[in-house]
């Protein structure tokens, strides 16, 4: 094949030469670097599926960091590489060098992180080709053999898949994630709410969540309304429950914490309502209708072009009202 004439894609001289005799069947080893938390990790599943389909003879190594190890798609990879994070010195050169040696040689390296650690992994390890989507132009020349433009106005999964397209590979649609696990078995259908996020600043006000759940628990009285609690102390939903004490179909899921348990409740839900956080990404990969509430971060990065996943946001970045979220939920349920 040849280097496709794709505007915006940069090929190094090495890449242009390699691609002249490139055959996906000849690739034996691929490394995918994904140093990310649960929500971003599960979205990587589609990229791994497409990579395996495109390079059928390759063993796939996934590189993660030790402090982000929830939701690792071990069912889709052949080897797991863990880069230890030293909490006292998170940029310890000793950790970087040791992890680089353990990382090993690969025919292709796909960097889906573009962090200081992933850049060093790419720089210190040889490969036929290194592929990435850095925001900074300089890294296109210093680190990667093939670089693809990246934008926060795109769904992140599409940005990842763009790394395969310079090879002329065919991508399958609709997106497949093949998230393992079974849905929880409950007698009554239910709506699932997650009122927390990675930081308090990304959380829709508890007062707004309380009012939303009050209205929905009345409108959809045939459903239970389950509130999933976060794992940190500040993620308590006690105040919400105190204000909803008269509702007979609202419950908390205090003891649900493992990824497997959370996934089971997500898979069984009629609808998931969540802030911009991992729970909504789980809904996306499980194919469960979702409503995401955005105001601090742009919604497009986690907004697939699919009618069962909607985002509520204002053009000026202000906090959406209860009625805005309520109308969006009703649109999906009715």
User: Which CATH code is given to the segment(s) 10-167?
Assistant: 3.40.50.2000
Assign 109 to helix, strand or coil: strand
pTM assigned to the model = 0.94
Q: What is the pLDDT of residue 1?
A: 53
What token pair was written down for 286?
A: 């499980």
How far apart are the C-alpha atoms of 255 and 271, rounded to whole Å? 21
Cβ density class 204-213: b for 16+ within 10 Å, e for less: bebebbbbbb
pLDDT score of 94:
65
Per CATH, is 190-333 categorized as 3.40.640.10?
no
**How high is the pLDDT of residue 2?**
59
Structure tokens at 52: 């395996």
| 3-state DSSP assignment of residue 224 | strand
Q: Is the peptide bond before 99 cis (omega within 30 degrees of 0)?
A: no
Residue 92 has which token pair? 């310890």
Could you tell me the residue ranges of all domains in the chain? 10-167, 190-333
Whether the upstream peptide bond of residue 333 has omega within 30° of 0, thus cis, is: no
pLDDT the model gives residue 93: 61
Predicted local confidence at residue 89, as pLDDT:
54
pLDDT for the residue numbered 257: 84
Q: Give every residue of the chain whose pLDDT is below 70, as ranges.
A: 1-4, 86-95
Residue 4 has which token pair? 């496709």
Q: What SS3 state is found at 87?
A: coil
pLDDT of residue 92: 58
What residues contact 12, with CB distance under 8 A and at least 6 apart? 144, 145, 146
Q: What is the DSSP letter of 67?
A: T
């Amino acid at each position: 094949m040849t280097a496709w004439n794709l505007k915006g894609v940069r090929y190094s001289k090495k890449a242009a030469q390699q691609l002249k005799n490139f055959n996906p069947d000849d690739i034996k080893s691929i490394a995918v670097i994904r140093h990310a938390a649960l929500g971003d990790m599960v979205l990587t599943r589609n990229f791994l599926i497409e990579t395996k389909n495109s390079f059928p003879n390759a063993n796939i190594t996934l590189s993660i960091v030790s402090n982000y190890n929830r939701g690792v798609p071990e069912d889709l990879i052949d080897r797991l590489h863990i880069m230890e994070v030293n909490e006292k010195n998170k940029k310890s050169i000793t950790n970087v060098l040791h992890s680089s040696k353990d990382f090993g040689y690969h025919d292709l390296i796909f960097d889906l992180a573009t962090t200081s650690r992933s850049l060093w992994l790419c720089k210190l390890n040889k490969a036929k080709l290194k592929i990435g989507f850095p925001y900074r132009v300089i890294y296109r020349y210093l680190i990667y053999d093939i670089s693809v433009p990246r934008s926060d106005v795109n769904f992140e999964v599409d940005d990842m898949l763009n790394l395969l397209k310079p090879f002329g590979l065919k991508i399958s649609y609709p997106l497949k994630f093949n998230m393992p696990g079974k849905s929880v078995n409950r007698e009554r259908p239910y709506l699932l709410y997650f009122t927390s996020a990675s930081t308090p600043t990304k959380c829709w006000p508890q007062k707004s969540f309380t009012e939303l759940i009050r209205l929905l628990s009345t409108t959809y009285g045939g459903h239970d309304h389950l509130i999933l609690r976060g794992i940190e102390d500040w993620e308590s939903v006690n105040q919400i429950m105190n204000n909803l004490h008269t509702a007979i179909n609202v419950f908390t899921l205090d003891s649900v914490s493992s990824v497997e348990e959370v996934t089971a409740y997500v898979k069984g839900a009629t609808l998931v309502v969540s802030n911009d956080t991992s729970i909504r990404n789980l809904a996306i990969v499980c194919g469960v209708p979702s409503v995401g509430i955005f105001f601090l971060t742009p919604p497009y990065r986690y907004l697939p072009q699919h009618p069962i996943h909607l985002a509520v946001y204002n053009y000026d970045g202000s906090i959406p009202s209860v009625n805005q979220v309520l109308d969006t939920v009703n649109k999906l349920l009715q």
